[in-house]
A = this chain, B = another copy of it.
């Protein structure tokens, strides 16, 4: 239980960048936008485990379509201890909205996956039987019909 803990590990900018597959420029940019603020040792940036965790959150947020500004706001809301009940309830509403957005997106994604999987099946069918047999043509038309049915509302 001494101080040789795993959490006192720090990271240089390029370490963190390469670990997450981004450039150093990106990390400096995020700092500029108020998303990160690592400690400094002189000029050099020193990233802690917490900074690393924030970065993970930022990148995940990006992947699901939030802008950097939105991500910054959400992170601020959680570190914002001051502020009355009103402010809290506003924050709560914002979080709930984001959740609904994400759920909508998840459903979009599931539809898209289904769409692409249907496309795969269609391509596979075409590859297995190269000669334009009536059988395949039939299934092709069937697929098209199904696709259309799903698409036209």
Q: Which chain A residues have a beta carbon within 8 Å of chain B's beta carbons?
A: 7, 49-50, 52-53, 56-57, 60-61, 63-65, 74, 77-78, 85, 88-89, 91-92, 95-96, 98-99, 102-106, 108-113, 115-117, 119-120, 122-124, 126-127, 130, 148, 151-152
The reply to whether B113 and A102 contact each other, CB–CB distance below 8 Å, is yes
A119's contact among B60, B78, B117, B122, by CB below 8 Å, is which?
B78
Residues of B within 8 A of A124 (CB): 92
User: Judging by beta carbons under 8 Å apart, are B152 and A88 in contact?
Assistant: no
A92: chain B residues at CB < 8 Å are 120, 123-124, 127
Distance in angstroms between the alpha carbons of A92 and B98 in the assembled complex: 34
B116 and A152 contacting across the interface, CB-CB below 8 Å:
no
Cross-interface CB contact of A56 among B50, B74, B88, B151, cutoff 8 Å? B151
For A63, what are the chain B residues with a Cβ–Cβ distance below 8 Å? 65, 104-105, 108
Q: Which of A65, A77, A104, A117 has the most CB of B within 10 A?
A: A65
Is A120 a contact partner of B96 (Cβ separation < 8 A)? yes
Q: A52-B152, A95-B120 are in contact. Are A127 and B78 (CB under 8 A)?
A: no
Inter-chain contact B148/A53, CB cutoff 8 Å? yes
A50 to B119, CA, bound (A): 17
